[in-house]
Amino acid sequence: MDVKIEQSWKQALQSEFDKPYFAELVRFLHEEKAGGQVIFPPGNRIFRAFELTPLDQVKVVILGQDPYHGYGQAMGLCFSVPDGVPAPPSLKNIFKEIEDDLGIRMSGRPNLEGWARQGVLLLNAVLTVRASQPASHSGIGWQQFTDSVIRCINDRCEGVVFLLWGNYARAKRELIDTSRHYVLEAAHPSPLARGAFFGCRHFSRTNDILVRQGKTPIDWQL
């Protein structure tokens, strides 16, 4: 199956694209569209996270659950929305934590492509969603695919920092070899989540880990 995805990822994940479940996933999406369903993000943005962060450039992974389901929001990067779209509550809380952690002032710009271009893979576990129906594509095979993405990073990269926020993301810890990589866990940044996201200091801690490895830290300021 020919999937339009950045070349390093395509080579690494070709065996997944060739599996029956992925063919069924693609067939399902075609049927959804043929049936009049509006799917987010647009087709040319489904693999945007991979396009902006090639496999050999991955330094940090932030794991989300599924795309925003409102019109004009989803852009293929977890937690990110396009410029001109109001920042969702979770993203506002992420910015607040960055400001408190690093003592900087965020612009409020909600487009996180600047992080992705520095090696932050902004990966949703589910890559598509029906308009106005959260988690509507959670059972079509995307988790199998993105679990393979995490395993691929685990096997082919070194010293990656995984930021796992909330129970859904934390469950992916079992896919990560913590003798070779770093896992930082906290509550989800959603205002509805239980537990503490504020005070996790994941942004300064991530940069400390990267610097110790001789890697360039992330400029989190947008």
- Among all residues, which ones are annotated catalytic? 66
Three-class SS of the chain: CCCCCCHHHHHHHHHHHCCHHHHHHHHHHHHHHHCCCCEECCHHHCCHHHHHCCHHHCCEEEEECCCCCCCCCCCCCCCCCCCCCCCCHHHHHHHHHHHHHHCCCCCCCCCCHHHHCCCEEEEECCCCEECCECCCCCCCCHHHHHHHHHHHHHHHCCCCEEEEEHHHHHHHHHHCCCCCCEEEEECCCCCCCCCCCCCCCHHHHHHHHHHHCCCCCCCCCC
**C-alpha–C-alpha distance, residues 98 and 162, integer Å:** 17
